[in-house]
Chains A and B, each alone.
Chain A
Amino acid sequence: MTMVFGVPIQALMGQLLVGLINGSFYALLSLGLAVIFGLLRVINFAHGAQYMLGAFVALLALNWFGLNYWFALILAPLVVGLFGALIERSMLSRLYKLDHLYGLLFTFGLALTLEGLFRWQFGASGQPYAPPAALTGGMNLGFMFLPIYRGWVIVFSLVVCIAVWALIEKTQLGAKLRAATENPTLVQSFGINVPMLLTLTYALGAGLAGLAGVLAAPIYQVSPLMGTNLIIVVFAVVVVGGMGSIMGAIVTGYLLGVAEGLTKVFYPEASNIVIFVIMAIVLILRPAGLFGKEA
């Protein structure tokens, strides 16, 4: 058996894969948080609940309407995004003038309510969701066995991350978004509907969380509390990356996922806390985060 640093290569590669999978979700979720924070200056505490909502849309679409995974992949982000837009329009938008902490507290309440309602309706236990037939099975890569669905998650989330980055950094709409971040009043005076941009941004972030939920459904089970603890790890990822850049959120997400996976190989007891430890170290050495701009 091939050994690397005294660890069988299969174990190392296996945990690296788990790390990349987790990293894909960290990247998708922290990207959504960063997009929302960039324009709205709101830390979306409901992000974990919206991720859960995405997974439930997939599950219920299958159970109630017989819509398969591929429909869910399109439907769930739309449903969660629309829900996000409604929340933003009706309630969240009233809080922009106030201290940003109120946005955090409001979305925290929203998360509690959503998770409580789903637990009331569906119970706390997880429900399985089968991956689509086209993505079942695995591939033997010689040094390890790769389940196809997991490979798909890594590739697909990477594509989505890059697409969102391109949308914000390279398109006309993205330019407007970035301009509105810098100076909303001025942008509004050019005849651009800034409140509409804000709603779209929140919907985009929420939709990304919903998409992550669908991707996660076949790997983790679908349960009302699936996003509860995940969101805190994602907060730590965001603090490490710094809220400054979209790319920073993506890169940090993958990096920390892999770091977590490697810790599981070399020092399993610390795997739960390694991201928080990294966060503390980064804060001491570079308070603005790895990619953050503000002092």
Chain B
Amino acid sequence: MTTAAPAKTETLLAVRDLVVEFGGRGRPTFRAVDGVSFDVRPGQTVGLVGESGCGKSVTSLAIMGLLPKRGNKVAGSATYDGTDLLTLDDREMRDHRGRDIAMIFQDPLSSLNPVVSIGVQVAEVLQRHRGMKKSTAIAESRDLLDQVGIPDPARRLKEYPHQLSGGMRQRALIAMALACKPRLLIADEPTTALDVTIQAQILNLLKELVVDSGTALIMITHDLGVVAGLCDEVNVLYGGRIVETASRHEVFARPRHPYTTGLLGSIPRLDGSRSEQLAAIPGSVADNIPWTSGCAFAPRCSRALEVCRSEAPPLEQDPTAMEEHTLRCHNPNPAEGGEPA
């Protein structure tokens, strides 16, 4: 946030002006994340929302230090508990990962090692960060699998990923992530690859185990339904920049950025008439223009003005809002038009 709002309470993670560029070896550099700043307070759930390609996953990988080193440039800072994670060397970062900050990924099958048993994959985190012996770690893993709601955990410990259902695999990944009771969990589209019925179960599990236990959560998603159920604060990303930040309640009640209203409008409604068309956002992220030549969303925006195509809007506090609500737009939706057009 460029508006230097004083933090209400202590911050667990402060991301400032994060820039990630891919390139090198003759390829043109591509700026995937372009000056993203946000805060996560202890126990808070923060959503990073946007379409694929908006930079939300890259942001999380940069914070975790998981981007390939070669050809990529990461700038800015990500201060966790007083330490800038981006300045740590590989060894120091390994000590933080899995212990203080953990992560769960989108596709639970490909995210699990196919040739190592579930038990060992959970236990190895405990052995690494809590110095447990293998037998103790396996026993603890059994309890962890039990906590994430895997039935018959003693049997599942010895099984391999291909023997588990999709929901169980994601539960196992959550068990691994929570094994060392991290203070921050990053969930990158954790329900996207799952059946709808399982999605709800996993979200409930996250709510129960993470949110209710006081672990802070960064929820990366394109699904505003997930945001509605889980997040305290929402950051909407477009083209590598945050275009709107507000509390969950504020975003759903008074979305100001045309992109946010577009995301809200593309959710089908049960009470709408069947002949009514879904409000799709025209174009795709591929139509992105860099922020240097105006607003990146302008080519797809129904409210775009002349100025939008020449000058990138700054991120500013919405003067009509009663609480903190920042947005990056020259011509936002009318303040009172709470419902999406």
Asked if A and B are interacting partners, one says no
